[in-house]
Chain A
Amino acid sequence: MGKSIIDKIWERHVVHKEEGKPDLIYIDLHLVHEVTSPQAFSGLRMKNRKVRRPDKTFATVDHNIPTDNRKVINDPVALNQMTTLEKNCMEFGIQLAGLDSPEQGIVHVIGPELGLTQPGMTIVCGDSHTSTHGAFGSIAFGIGTSEVEHVMATQTLWQTKPKSLKLEINGELNKGVSAKDVILYVIAKNGIGFGTGYIIEYCGDTIANMSMEERMTICNMSIEGGARAGLVSPDDTTFAYLEGRKYVPKGEGFEQAVENWIDLASDSDATYDKTIKIDAADIAPMVSWGTNPSMTSKVTEEIPRLEDCETELEKKSLSGALAYMGLKEGQKIEDIQIQHVFIGSCTNSRLEDLRQATEIIRGKKIHPQVRALVVPGSQQVKKQAEAEGLDVIFKQAGFEWRESGCSMCLSMNNDIVPSGEHCASTSNRNFEGRQGSGARTHLVSPMMAAAAAIYGHFVDVGALLAAETVQ
């Protein structure tokens, strides 16, 4: 019987196995940031423990840093968290891409960018969007602070092997449909908890034809469907992306590495605990209208009605979400008025995302009622975008061009959506209060966010692009 990539990576990483216990698995890469690490370092210090493998640990600051002026940090509590990370990295010998480093950025953007993320690895970070790194054919998942401390002290974790879910997507994507729409569609169709207890392997020709950036967007949001990890078997696209990156072996070493990586791909006769098939042609540009990522519809649709709910619980969730969002059942999605646009986050802040957004806004101006922000995922993304002149296109359209960080995805810094206002956001969570107390988040792709910035309401970018082709 064949093996899936999940089986192969897991088996290679079991350090200790015992009846009635989770497996003790080895961790190849531990990414660290300022918010979920201070208590872990304190724990080590209290017990006089050290970080076992500083060489397999890499830290950056991203969650609470300002994106306007990096020189002035007005929030003393946030500043304390940042300086605490600096001190901790110094004390425990961990490499840090700090606020002044050209390698700083959102932890899930810089891991792949620097080539720290590689196929076959087990990767953890105290952040649920660690699933992003699965795009390279690694098992990557978010952990809590106790587990952060455990990995620091032992380079291992006790984990029960999750079940496997094969999510196969075939066919060509419609005009205006991006990776973000694909994953939003998957979650809308299968529910917010469909992946709980599973690792998802994304496959099929739609995925095979995607760039690494697109695969990262898909894997990133695995957790919004409940799956701690999502991955894609590595292929030539993966290897081409990795070649030449800072921490990837060079020359002969690279060829050797590729040989090992090729073997990781799932065998054609591999078995899975569950399989879901999706037809790419069914997917359209999507917009979330509620307070969790499964409350999402196609841009051309209407918000569901209470009478269509199947259970009392569903009805209660829908009416609660609509009350919070200030929306009405049956309302057309295209009629939702937008006051804020955020292009950024570990889901959609890479060069390709920014390029796609500029295709929509080139030569246009944002709607007068809209405030729009672009926050590149890393300093390197920012630099490359500036070299291509993307920053000029954004600024001429009326967007603010910022420094890299998590920013308005979770609004731990000053980038906040005021209460009651609507934000078209390329981030990953539309939970109540996520972008600010009372803020109303709509999850969309970079192209959809860019179009909403221009029109002040949601527009079907598929139709928009089709019309431009005709002209």
Chain B
Amino acid sequence: MDGFKTLHGKAIALDRANVDTDQIIPKQFLKRIEKTGFGQFLFYDWRFTKEGEPNPDFELNRKENQGAPILIANENFGCGSSREHAPWALGDYGFKVIIAPSFADIFHQNCLKNGLLPISLPAETVDYLLERAKNQPYELKVDLENECIEDGQGFTAKFFINDYWKKMLINGWDEIEITLQLEDHIGNFERKEIVRQ
């Protein structure tokens, strides 16, 4: 997994609340046994018509919205299922950062494990960004190290990310490797458990 410190790129608007994981990646695409190749199915039922043609009304299909690494959405993004296929699909499509007023817990966690940065900002700030991003071109610079975003046109905002996850994302670390270094602690815990029982 590649890490990143800063990211500069197009930010596009998906002004919808409660975007659920069933929308992000519909269940008919969950039967694969790989982690890759899910981008083609992202937002499938919104992105394509019944005939399988791109739906021209869907935000991501607009010509000016192509090639964006930053997605701005409304509250409670990623609610529903625990399927990690959702961040896999978003990442495979090309997104690296998602900005919203709030995220569902499991989805939030799943993003962090896949090099996808979820940024929570106050609702009014997100409203402002959604309006701006509806008129392309609109770009944002995300500085993960200093926890801030700016648009180079006067807008700046600070965001918060737990230091632990910040380090993980910046370095693209393997979490299991880190945990395995605590083997002694895990072994001790298990031995104590046996005594207690």
A residues bordering B, Cβ < 8 Å?
A: 15-16, 20-22, 24, 26, 35-36, 38-39, 42, 47, 49, 52, 63-64, 75, 77-78, 80-81, 84, 126-128, 130, 141-147, 149-150, 153-156, 158, 160, 162, 192-193, 196-197, 223, 226-228, 292, 313, 316-317, 320, 410-412, 419, 429, 431-434, 437-438
Q: Are B33 and A24 in contact (CB under 8 A)?
A: no
- Please provide the chain B residues from 1 to 55 with a CB less than 8 Å away from any CB of chain A in the complex: 16-18, 20, 22-23, 26-28, 30-35, 45, 50
Q: Are A317 and B17 in contact (CB under 8 A)?
A: yes
Q: Are B27 and A146 in contact (CB under 8 A)?
A: no
Q: Are B82 and A196 in contact (CB under 8 A)?
A: no
The 8 A-B residue pairs with the shortest CB-CB distance, nearest first, are A144-B84, A38-B33, A142-B82, A144-B110, A146-B113, A145-B84, A431-B22, A77-B31
Select which of B27, B82, B174, B182 is within 8 A of A24 by beta carbon.
B182
Q: Are B104 and A226 in contact (CB under 8 A)?
A: yes
A-B contact pairs, 30 of them (CB 8 A): A16-B185, A20-B162, A21-B164, A24-B179, A24-B185, A26-B186, A26-B193, A77-B31, A126-B82, A127-B81, A142-B82, A143-B106, A145-B84, A146-B84, A150-B176, A154-B176, A155-B190, A156-B186, A158-B164, A158-B175, A192-B18, A192-B79, A196-B102, A196-B104, A196-B105, A226-B79, A227-B105, A411-B27, A412-B30, A438-B50
A to B contact number (C-beta, < 8 Å): 168
Q: Are B20 and A35 in contact (CB under 8 A)?
A: no
Query: How many angstroms from the CA of A146 to the CA of B175 in the assembled complex?
Result: 9
Q: What B residues does A227 contact at CB under 8 A?
A: 105
In the complex where A36-B82, A49-B176, A196-B76 touch, is A154 in contact with B23 (Cβ < 8 A)?
no
Q: Are A226 and B81 in contact (CB under 8 A)?
A: no
Which single residue of chain A is at the shortest CB-CB distance from B174? Answer: A47
Q: Are A15 and B109 in contact (CB under 8 A)?
A: no
Q: Are A313 and B106 in contact (CB under 8 A)?
A: no
Count of interface residues, chain B, beta-carbon cutoff 8 Å: 49
Q: Are A64 and B31 in contact (CB under 8 A)?
A: yes
Select which of A145, A193, A320 is within 8 A of B79 by beta carbon.
A193
Q: Are A432 and B113 in contact (CB under 8 A)?
A: no
From B26, B83, B102, B106, name the one whose CB has the most chain A CB atoms within 10 angstroms. B106
- Closest CB in chain A relative to B181 CB, distance in Å: 10
Q: What B residues does A153 contact at CB under 8 A?
A: 176, 179-180
Query: How many angstroms from the CA of A154 to the CA of B16 in the assembled complex?
Result: 38
Q: Are A15 and B75 in contact (CB under 8 A)?
A: no
Q: What A residues does B23 contact at CB under 8 A?
A: 431-433
Q: Are B27 and A410 in contact (CB under 8 A)?
A: yes
Q: Are B182 and A36 in contact (CB under 8 A)?
A: no
Q: Are A292 and B186 in contact (CB under 8 A)?
A: no
In the complex where A15-B186, A144-B84, A158-B164 touch, is A193 in contact with B76 (Cβ < 8 A)?
yes
From B32, B105, B190, name the one whose CB has the most chain A CB atoms within 10 angstroms. B105
Select which of A47, A81, A158, A316 is within 8 A of B179 by beta carbon.
A158
Select which of A15, A223, A437 is within 8 A of B185 by beta carbon.
A15
- Closest CB in chain B relative to A46 CB, distance in Å: 11
- Closest CB in chain B relative to A216 CB, distance in Å: 18
Q: What B residues does A154 contact at CB under 8 A?
A: 176, 179-180, 186
Query: How many angstroms from the CA of A67 to the CA of B105 in the assembled complex?
Result: 32
Q: Are A292 and B79 in contact (CB under 8 A)?
A: yes
